[in-house]
């Protein structure tokens, strides 16, 4: 072959070599594999900014390859792979944060649903309890079969039972008045249905309390819903108690064969319980179940020192040994101070101080017992020594002298001293 031919072939080889495409870097194939995976789809959803940056680097690498810059395409391809890995890491963090937010939202929704269910359960329970109370009131108000004559021993027992029912009626009406009539300064006696000083076995108002309500004069608050109806209901119950007091006094006269007014006493108690229930129902919100009585009972029970119980009036704490003579003992004062703090923390609960004796007391002894009741009221009143601005927040406190009409043990037995006690009654203001 001549030299000219060889030169021509060499030139053609050089030209062909210059026109051939450059090899595609392997990193671009790896980049295509990365882009096709699930990680890239996740990065595109949760980290779109980082994903866009990786795609831009891939575009730059392909552009460098088109310009036959294999080294540049290699470098840019490696950067694009790293950018996709970075975008995937960011997307995993974002996905975790989104899952956490969704879990929190679900938890909040679940808690709201649970709270709604609990509120509905409490409301239904309140309705059930209120219905039970209405049934009890209606049952107590049903006419009873008139009691016939009985022998002397049974009549004495009936008379004692009638006095006890009269006491219960008086205390229930007193609780209703505490709920419907804000007490004026000085904690006056709100129950205008007390018997006369000579009435045996009945609770007496404290003689030291000024401004006591007049008999038959209900004084509901003007803001109280249905106050006129409540006043009329209390007036009716008051009149029934006054009539009962007169009949009890006549039946208790020695030598008179008059039947004990046991049926009349039952009706009087039912009337006062109905008035108390009406007062509570008027003050109970219809949109929620308050549970105020349950909360206070739980609080006092948790203290472990009071042994509280619940009756128709509210939460009752029984104290004994408060007095040495007519003066409060130091231990008694300390216990009453503790209860005073409870009363101050729950000003919606009026407080009835009920003093029971272990024997019938004479008219001559009543002032001393009334002074004891007043001493308990003063010890309980958190407004004692407080400023005038703080005084209106104090709960209403009223004394009741119950006498010996409600013994807890045999009045003629060896433990009759247990009948002498003081009940601190936190009158429940609502239906629960």
Whether 76 maps to a domain, the answer reads no
**SS3 assignment, position 400:** strand
The sign of the torsion formed by the CA atoms of 348, 384, 206, 156 equals positive
Gap between the Cα atoms of 72 and 62, Å rounded: 9
Predicted confidence at residue 44, as pLDDT, reads 86
Say if residues 80 and 31 touch (Cβ distance below 8 Å). Answer: yes
Mean pLDDT of 207-230: 46
Percent of the chain with pLDDT over 90: 38
Whether 11 maps to a domain, the answer reads no
Gap between the Cα atoms of 154 and 148, Å rounded: 11
Whether 369 maps to a domain, the answer reads yes
CATH code assigned at 365:
3.30.1330.60
Structure token pair of residue 276: 């108390």
Across the chain, mean pLDDT equals 80
Whether 32 maps to a domain, the answer reads no
Gap between the Cα atoms of 346 and 206, Å rounded: 24
Whether 59 maps to a domain, the answer reads no
Of residues 338 and 180, more confidence is placed in: 338
Whether 166 maps to a domain, the answer reads yes
Structure token pair of residue 223: 């803001």
Overall pTM > 0.85: no
Written as one string, the DSSP assignment of 339-381 is HHHHHHH-TTS-EEEEEE-SS---TTTHHHHHHHHHHHHHHH-
Predicted confidence at residue 383, as pLDDT, reads 64
Written as one string, the DSSP assignment of 235-298 is HHHHHHHHHHHHHHHHHTSTT------HHHHHHHHHHHHHHHHHHHHHHS-SSS---HHHHHHH
Whether 219 maps to a domain, the answer reads yes
Range of the domain at 376: 143-193+202-427
Whether 327 maps to a domain, the answer reads yes
What is the number of domains present in the chain?
Answer: 1
């Amino acid at each position: 072959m001549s030299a000219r031919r060889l030169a021509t072939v060499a030139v053609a080889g050089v030209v062909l070599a210059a026109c051939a495409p450059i090899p595609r870097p392997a990193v671009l194939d790896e980049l295509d594999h990365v882009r096709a995976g699930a990680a890239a789809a996740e990065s595109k959803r949760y980290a779109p900014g980082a994903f866009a940056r990786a795609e831009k680097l891939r575009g730059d690498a392909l552009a460098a390859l088109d310009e036959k810059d294999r080294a540049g395409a290699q470098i840019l391809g490696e950067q694009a792979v790293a950018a996709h890995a970075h975008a995937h890491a960011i997307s995993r963090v974002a996905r975790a944060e989104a899952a956490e937010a969704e879990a929190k939202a679900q938890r909040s929704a679940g808690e709201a649903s649970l709270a709604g269910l609990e509120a509905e359960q409490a409301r239904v329970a309140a309705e059930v309890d209120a219905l039970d109370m209405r049934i009890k009131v209606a049952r107590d108000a049903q006419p009873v079969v008139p009691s016939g004559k009985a022998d002397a021993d049974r009549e004495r027992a009936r008379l004692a039972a009638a006095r006890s029912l009269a006491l219960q009626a008086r205390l229930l009406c007193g609780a209703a008045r505490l709920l419907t009539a804000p007490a004026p300064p000085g904690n006056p006696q709100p129950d205008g249905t007390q018997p006369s000083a000579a009435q045996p076995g009945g609770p007496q108002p404290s003689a030291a309390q000024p401004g006591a309500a007049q008999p038959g004069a209900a004084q509901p608050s003007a803001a109280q819903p249905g106050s006129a109806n409540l006043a009329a209901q209390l007036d009716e119950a008051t009149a029934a108690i006054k009539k009962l007091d007169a009949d009890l006094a006549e039946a208790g006269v020695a030598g008179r064969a008059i039947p004990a007014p046991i049926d009349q006493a039952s009706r009087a108690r039912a009337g006062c319980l109905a008035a108390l229930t009406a007062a509570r129902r008027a003050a109970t919100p219809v949109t929620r179940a308050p549970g105020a009585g349950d909360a206070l009972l739980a609080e006092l029970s948790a203290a472990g020192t009071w042994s509280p119980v619940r009756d128709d009036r509210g939460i009752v704490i029984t104290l004994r040994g408060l007095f040495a003579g007519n003066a409060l003992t130091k231990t008694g004062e300390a216990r009453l101070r503790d209860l005073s703090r409870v009363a101050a923390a729950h000003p919606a609960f009026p407080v009835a101080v009920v003093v029971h004796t272990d024997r019938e007391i004479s008219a001559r002894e009543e002032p001393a017992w009334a002074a004891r009741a007043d001493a308990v009221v003063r010890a309980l009143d958190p407004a004692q020594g407080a400023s005038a601005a703080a005084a209106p927040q104090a709960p209403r406190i009223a004394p009741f002298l119950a006498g010996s009409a409600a013994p807890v043990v045999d009045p003629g037995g060896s433990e009759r001293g247990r009948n002498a006690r003081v009940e601190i009654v936190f009158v429940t203001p609502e239906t629960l």
